[in-house]
């Protein structure tokens, strides 16, 4: 079971970084633009809210 969770951990790291690194290469480290792009439409705002709330929940 530890290999399954380890695989999920690796995939959960690589997939988001696979989308983030091309954005950083294209736009640089522009926090205002990142926030604007991340909240550009309701579905992306929903996704970020879900991530933030999930990260704040106690274990």
Domain boundaries of the chain, sorted by first residue: 2-56
Q: Kindly report, residue by residue over 21-56, the tens digit of the pLDDT.
A: 999 999 999 999 988 988 899 988 998 888 888 888
Reported as half-sphere exposure (CB side, CA atoms, 13 A), residue 42 has a value of: 0
Higher pLDDT, 12 or 57: 12
pLDDT of residue 54: 81
Mean of the pLDDT values across residues 1-28? 92
Total-model pTM: 0.63
User: d(Cα 59, Cα 30) in Å, to the nearest integer?
Assistant: 33
Give the DSSP letter of residue 21: H
Q: Is the pLDDT of residue 59 over 70?
A: no
Give SS3 for 41: coil
């Amino acid at each position: 079971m530890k290999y399954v969770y380890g695989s999920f951990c690796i995939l959960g790291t690589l997939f988001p970084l696979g989308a983030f690194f091309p954005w950083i290469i294209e736009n640089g480290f522009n926090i205002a633009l990142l926030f604007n792009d991340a909240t550009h439409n309701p579905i992306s705002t929903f996704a970020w809210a879900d991530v933030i709330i999930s990260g704040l929940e106690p274990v």
